Amino acid sequence: MKGDDNALVGNLNQVIGGSNMLQGDENKVKGDLNQVKGNNNAMQGDLNKVLGNMNTLIGSQNNVFGSENSVLGSKNNASGSQNVIEGSQNNVKGNVN
């Protein structure tokens, strides 16, 4: 772990940045003010929120709930599984979009 004021609960989590909160196992976060609850999530950016497993995010201010979602951009919302979002301010609800 590199950074300040991070809170980690779980095993094998990796953090580079500050004020991140991780709960779960094998999450990887690079950035600041991110919140993760789940397992095997990876993100790079700031102010992202994830609840679920095996999600990948690159960008900022994204909210993801579910599993196996991929997000590239900012201010996106995804709820479901296996969704792919590229861009900004998208709202996706469901599976395999």
Q: Give pLDDT tens digits for 56-78.
A: 999 999 999 999 999 999 999 99
pLDDT for 1 equals: 83
Q: What percent of the chain has pLDDT over 70?
A: 100
Q: What is the DSSP letter of 2?
A: B
In this predicted structure, what is the pLDDT of residue 97? 87
Q: Mean pLDDT across the stretch 8-30?
A: 97
- Residue 36 clears pLDDT 90, i.e. is over it: yes
- The 3-class SS string of the chain reads CECCCCEEECCCCEEECCCCEEECCCCEEECCCCEEECCCCEEECCCCEEEEECCEEEEECCEEEEECCEEEEECCEEEEECCEEEEECCEEEEECC
Q: Which of 54, 70, 60, 67 is CA-nearest to residue 31? A: 60
All structural domains of the chain? 7-95 (2.150.10.10)
State phi, psi for 38 to the nearest 5 degrees: 150, -160
